[in-house]
Amino acid sequence: MKKHQKGFTLVEIAIVLVIIGLLMGGVLKGQELINSAKVKNLANDFRSMSSFVYAYQDRFRAMPGDDARANNHVTNGTVPTTPAGTLDNARINGTWNSVTQTDESYLFWQHVRLAGLATGTPVVGNAEYIPRNAEGGAIGITGDAILTAANPVWPANFYICSTGIQGRFARQLDTMLDDGNTQTGTVRVIANGAATQANADLLTPANDQTLYTVCSGF
C-alpha cells in the first residue's frame, strides 16, 4: 500500500511569502518612522536653542552666558569670569563643549534655565547639567569660530553643536535644515566631540555609521 506524502501547495507557499513580505515591510517602515522622528528631534534642538538666545536677549538686552548682570536679571544667576576679557561683548565665548564652570558657554544653560526659557537643572556641576540629544550626545553653544580655516567662510553670531550623531542622521539634518552639503552653508559637520577643526567634513553614504558633531550657525 503506497503512502502519500503531503506537502505545501504553491498557493500556500505564496501566501506564506506574502505574509513574510508584509511583516518585513512593516518592520522596515517602522524603523524608518523611528529614524525620521529622531532626526526631527535633533533638528528641534537647534531651533529651540536659537529661540532661547533671542528670547533672553529680548528680555534682558544681553546674551545668555555673556550677561554681566546675570545675578540681577535671574535669581541665583552666576556672572561668568572666563574666558578672560570677553564678558558683555555680545558674544558667547568659550568652546561649545566647555565643562569649565566659569565659562560663558557653560553658564549659558544656567542663565536660560533660571530665566524659565529652558528645562533642566541650573545647578552647575550637576551630572544632568549638560543637556543631551536624542542620540545621547552633548549639546552646546558658542560665539567663537568652530572652523579655524573655514573655506568657504562660515559667518554667524553663534554656533549650536550637537555631538554623537550618526553620519546618516547628520546628512539628513543638513538636507532638512540647509543645503545638503555638510561642508557648506549654515549646517556643517566636524569630528565627533571636537571643539574646533580646520574645515568641515564632507559626508557620503560611506560615513553613515560613523559618529559626528553637527553644528549650525545662526
pLDDT for res 120: 98
pLDDT in tens, 163-211: 999 999 999 999 999 999 999 999 999 999 999 999 999 999 999 999 9
Q: What are 143's three cell numbers?
A: 560665539
Whether residue 29 is predicted with pLDDT greater than 70 in this model: the reply is: no
Query: At which residue does the C-alpha cell 555673556 appear?
Result: 66
Place of cell 536660560: 112
Cβ contact 104:86 at 8 Å: yes
Measured in residues, the chain has a length of: 218
* For the chain, percent of residues with pLDDT exceeding 90: 83
d(Cα 77, Cα 44) in Å, to the nearest integer? Answer: 26
Q: How confident is the model at residue 6 (pLDDT cuts 50, 70, 90)?
A: low
pLDDT at position 36, please? 82
The burial class, CB within 10 Å (0-12 / 13-18 / 19+), for 46 is buried
At 133, give phi and psi (nearest 5°): -90, -175
% pLDDT > 70, the chain: 89
